[in-house]
Amino acid sequence: MLSALYSLITGIGVGLLFAFLKFPIPAPNHINGVLGILGIFLGYLIIDYFRKG
């Protein structure tokens, strides 16, 4: 759980830096992109679950 918090804090920091420097956001800006990333992650978890038996 602590690593998830570190990831969130790092992501917020990177987002703030990108906004401050007026760079384009380094993440999908639509829900479709976010759902695509979530789908990739869930697909990986499903395969990993069945491989471990």
Say what the pLDDT of residue 36 is.
87
Say what the pLDDT of residue 26 is.
73
Q: Are 17 and 29 in contact (CB under 8 A)?
A: no
Write the CB contacts of 35 (distance below 8 Å, at least 6 apart in sequence): none
Say what the pLDDT of residue 33 is.
83
Q: Where are the domains of the chain?
A: 2-52
pLDDT 10s digits, 3-44: 989 998 998 999 899 999 999 887 777 888 888 889 999 999
pTM metric for this prediction: 0.57
Q: Biggest alpha carbon distance in the chain? A: 48
